[in-house]
């Protein structure tokens, strides 16, 4: 298999994946199902700038007082702020408390 | 949130310090293995503190080895640790349990029987009756049927008109009301005579019904017929009519009594020396406390104080402390003046007489004579003259 061919295949796979995603998203919309369950994407809830909940995450990449990076299906989520602490952590969700400055998705 | 904290406190948790290069990895593995972590705080690049339940902490050892972190306990918190501390103090725990057991045990007995409201009936008699019914100190209170006791008591003692029996705490309370005996009146339609209650001289006589037998100024003796209920028909002798006599008869009566005193009186004066004897009564058993010294007073007054261990008014525990205080007396011979001795002798005599003289009698005169014997004994002879109601009814049929 030539590298070209392989690239093509990968592209095709991605395309297929994208179609699949679109379909699932539509299905979720039509059936009014919670998207984070159907699409396996994180649900991020913020209360002001003091509390942040990331549901459906994959794991912690970095954890510090100023910066927390969480791995999700949509890529890395970077939370920056001051005095960040993890209030609770289970396999489903992570509750971050502190003074949150910014939230960023990193592909 | 409060509920969660309370729950965590009840379950018990530890605050731990994790040290290592791969702290994120440590957290990830924990979450993966369903170990619940909370309050994670980064101290610096290499350390963080977090809280984990006791159950979770036991799963941390392989995780820390895998993530090459060192775990150290900073603090143990929660109820299980608190209890654990007391588990070692066996005597303390035992004492606490013993206290509650004993308290409940003691509270289920009757330790005191209280009787109130009796005037004529002696308390000792009632206590004895109650004891027969099973109510006495040291009896299990659950065995007593208060209702039945009250009902039985009112049947057994005829003088009672009302009984209330209840168990309050460790006290059995009995309140009674005595039946007042009605005076033995002769009904109005039954014929009767009036006779003299005691010796005397008739002062006044007013007859409303019946035939007068005595008149004013007559000397009468006890039991003498004063007013007869037998009316004779004047026109037809031999025909008799019986009536219920009613009359108001007042008579002069005399009461005599005497009192004596010695001129050389012996008076007891407290010297101020006091000795106390403490006696403990536990479960109706007397225990003399060893700190008693013998009472070597020649002459003393004794004052007894009874103290009981009680919680509130009704919860009496079977521990009594009886304090007997002995006050030493010095006997001082004192010579009274004749006048003083006379007054004392007279007072003694009057005291005796007042007990005999009925309440409704009116005192009109009193004569006091004093005599002195050779030994210094002074005797007061008191004669009191009264005017009083003297008639008492007596049924005719009885004779």
Of the spans A19-33, B52-66, B301-315, which averages the highest pLDDT?
B52-66
- Coil, strand or helix: which one is B328? strand
pLDDT of residue B109: 84
List the beta bridge partners of residue B369.
Answer: B381
Question: Chain A residues with CB inside 8 Å of B36's CB?
Answer: 88-90
Task: Say if the Cβ atoms of B40 and A62 lie within 8 Å.
Answer: no
Task: Say if the Cβ atoms of B40 and A63 lie within 8 Å.
Answer: yes
The set of long-range contacts for B221-225, using a CB threshold of 8 Å and a minimum separation of 24, is B221/B196, B222/B196, B222/B197, B222/B198, B223/B195, B223/B196, B224/B195, B224/B196, B225/B193, B225/B194, B225/B195
Minimal-distance CA residue of chain A relative to B47:
A64
How much of chain B is helix, strand and coil, in % rounded to 5?
25, 45, 30
Poorest-pLDDT segment among A2-11, A32-41, B237-246: A2-11
Q: What is the mean pLDDT of residues A19-46?
A: 80
* A107: nearest Cα among A79, A77, A68, A62: A77
Q: Does A82 touch chain B (CB under 8 A)?
A: no
Mind listing the pLDDT tens digit for each residue in B99-121? Answer: 999 888 888 888 888 888 887 78
- For residue B58, pLDDT beyond 70: yes
CATH annotation of B109-178: 3.10.20.310
* B198: nearest Cα among B391, B398, B328, B399: B391
Residue A97's pLDDT band (cuts 50, 70, 90): very high
Query: Cα separation of B79 and B57, whole Å?
Result: 16
pLDDT of residue B99: 92
Mind listing the pLDDT tens digit for each residue in B209-226? Answer: 888 888 888 888 888 888
Q: What is the mean pLDDT of residues B124-146?
A: 84
* A60: nearest Cα among A98, A95, A99: A95
Give the homologous superfamily in CATH for domain B2-83.
ACT domain (3.30.70.260)
pLDDT of residue A45: 94
Q: Are A51 and A84 in contact (CB under 8 A)?
A: no
A52-A56-A61 Cα angle (round to 5): 75
Q: Are B316 and B310 in contact (CB under 8 A)?
A: yes
Report domain extents, chain B.
2-83, 109-178, 192-251, 258-263+336-393, 266-332
Q: Does A47 touch chain B (CB under 8 A)?
A: no
Q: Are A78 and A104 in contact (CB under 8 A)?
A: yes
- Coil, strand or helix: which one is B262? strand
Distance from CA of B77 to the nearest CA of A (A): 18
* B159: nearest Cα among B176, B147, B184: B176
């Amino acid at each position: 298999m030539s590298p070209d061919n392989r690239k093509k295949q990968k592209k095709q796979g991605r395309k297929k994946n994208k179609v699949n995603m679109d379909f699932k998203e539509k299905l979720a919309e039509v059936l009014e199902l919670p998207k984070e369950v159907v699409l396996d994407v994180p649900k991020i809830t913020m209360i002001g700038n003091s509390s942040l909940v990331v549901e459906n995450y994959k794991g912690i990449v970095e954890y510090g007082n100023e910066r927390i990076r969480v791995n999700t299906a949509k890529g890395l989520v970077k939370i920056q702020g001051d005095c960040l602490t993890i209030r609770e952590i289970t396999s489903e969700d992570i509750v971050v408390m502190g003074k949150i400055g910014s939230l960023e998705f990193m592909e | 949130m409060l509920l969660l904290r309370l729950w965590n406190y009840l379950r018990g948790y530890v605050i731990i310090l994790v040290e290592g290069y791969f702290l994120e990895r440590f957290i990830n593995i924990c979450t993966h293995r369903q170990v619940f972590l909370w309050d994670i705080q980064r101290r610096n690049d290499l350390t963080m503190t977090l809280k984990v339940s006791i159950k979770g902490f036991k799963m941390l050892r392989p995780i820390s080895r895998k993530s090459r972190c060192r775990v150290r306990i900073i603090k143990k918190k929660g109820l299980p640790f608190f209890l654990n501390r007391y588990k070692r103090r066996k005597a303390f725990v035992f004492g606490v349990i013993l206290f509650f057991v004993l308290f409940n045990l003691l509270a289920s007995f009757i330790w005191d029987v209280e009787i109130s409201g009796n005037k004529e009936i002696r308390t000792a008699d009632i206590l004895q009756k109650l004891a027969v019914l099973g109510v006495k100190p040291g009896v299990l209170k659950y065995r007593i049927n208060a209702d039945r006791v009250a009902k039985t008591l009112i049947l057994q003692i005829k003088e009672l008109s009302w009984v209330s029996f209840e168990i309050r705490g460790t006290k059995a309370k009995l309140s009674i009301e005595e039946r007042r005996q009605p005076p033995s009146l002769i009904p109005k339609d039954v014929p009767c005579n009036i006779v003299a209650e005691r010796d005397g001289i008739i002062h006044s006589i007013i007859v409303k019904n019946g035939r007068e037998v005595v008149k004013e100024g007559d000397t009468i003796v006890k039991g003498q017929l004063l007013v007869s209920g037998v009316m004779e028909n004047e026109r037809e002798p031999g025909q008799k009519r019986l009536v219920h006599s009613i009359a108001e008869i007042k008579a002069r009566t005399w009461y005599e009594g005497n009192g004596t005193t010695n001129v050389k009186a012996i008076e007891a004066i407290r010297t101020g020396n006091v000795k106390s004897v403490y006696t403990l009564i536990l479960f109706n058993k007397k225990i003399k406390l060893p700190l008693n010294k013998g009472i070597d007073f020649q002459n003393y007054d004794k004052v007894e104080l009874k103290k009981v261990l009680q919680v509130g008014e009704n919860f009496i525990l079977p521990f009594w402390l009886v304090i007997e205080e002995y006050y030493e007396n010095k006997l001082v011979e004192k010579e009274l003046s004749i006048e003083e001795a006379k007054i004392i002798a007279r007072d003694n005599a009057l005291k005796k007489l007042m007990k005999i003289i009925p309440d409704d009698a009116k005192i009109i005169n009193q004569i006091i004579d004093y005599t002195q014997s050779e030994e210094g004994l002074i005797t007061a002879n008191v004669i009191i003259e009264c005017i009083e109601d003297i008639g008492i009814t007596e049924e005719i049929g009885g004779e």
